[in-house]
Amino acid sequence: MLVIRTEQIVALEQAHVDRFTDEFVNHLRSFAPDRYASLGRDAVRKTVNLGLSNAERHGFTLRGPVRFYLELMFRFGSFFDTDRQYQEVTRPLFDDSGTDEIIRADRLYDRVMNYVDAAAGIDFRFERRALETTANMSYEALASLAGQPSAALVEWISHIYPEKVQALGKPVIRALVNDAGGFAISFGPSCVGATPLFALLMFILGSNCFSDPQFPWLVRALDRPAMPDAEVALEEAFRGFITLLAPFRSTLEKR
């Protein structure tokens, strides 16, 4: 169960927001130094500020629930609350029955831990293996999957991280792949073949990773995909993603 210390049960009034932000930024730097270094302080602060706003929208205003919400953002992506991958996990956030936020945070914690136990495994062994498999992937191998039907891409993702796919269910992954295909098409003809890359990014980083302040390199890389150098932009996005996996794995190994 989620344990909220007495000193944490304090509403985050505006006067305390800046101090709380600094506390959490420093917490992340101590808890996940490699991840913090890969993001940079500006990206971390921007993500925290977004999280404070989103947490309040869900009725989380106390230090304990807000901090937990922020930790989930750095675990599952800044927009985990609207990510189709985690709809079952995040149901307590959308409880409009007037239930106390501490109780809802407790329920959210229970769902998160059930998911993590199933998908990540003991000592995160499943997740670390999946990240290692992904880190060893070549861009050429990824690009060769262009044009494959959705069912084939679902099976490919299942091979990379079978435990997560089993925990979420293949219909969820199929919907994610279809979203990735629609996103690729939205960039124009030069990016139609980017569906495998986009699906992988969404699967690992979160469905809304393309606008996530944690990944400014991705936003920059995809700012020009409709131009003649689309392939260069897509490969740059892939390289940035592979580089990011090292601090992800380091953080898991230290838990």
Do 157 and 100 reside in the same domain of the chain?
Answer: no
pLDDT of residue 211: 92
pLDDT of residue 228: 58
**pTM of the entire structure?**
0.89
pLDDT of residue 3: 43
Q: How far apart are CA 187 and CA 4, in angstroms?
A: 45
Reported for 170-173, long-range contacts at CB under 8 A and 24+ positions apart, including other chains, are: 172/84, 172/85, 172/87, 173/203
User: For each successive 10 residues of the chain (255 residues), what is the average pLDDT?
Assistant: 43 68 87 84 91 93 91 94 96 88 95 97 94 94 93 97 97 97 83 91 95 89 67 88 86 71
Do 100 and 193 reside in the same domain of the chain?
Answer: no
pLDDT of residue 12: 56
For residue 86, the enclosing domain spans: 8-119
Greatest alpha-carbon span in the chain? 58
Do 209 and 103 reside in the same domain of the chain?
Answer: no
pLDDT of residue 9: 40
For the residues of 53-116, what is the DSSP string, one character each? Answer: HHHHHTT--BHHHHHHHHHHHHHH-TTGGG-GGGTTTTGGGG--S---HHHHHHHHHHHHHHHH
pLDDT of residue 191: 79
- On whether residue 2 sits in a domain, the answer given is no
pLDDT of residue 227: 54
Do 129 and 233 reside in the same domain of the chain?
Answer: yes
Pick from 88, 119, 150: which residue ends a domain?
119
pLDDT of residue 57: 93
Candidates 23, 88, 83, 90; CA nearest to 52 is 23
Do 101 and 139 reside in the same domain of the chain?
Answer: no
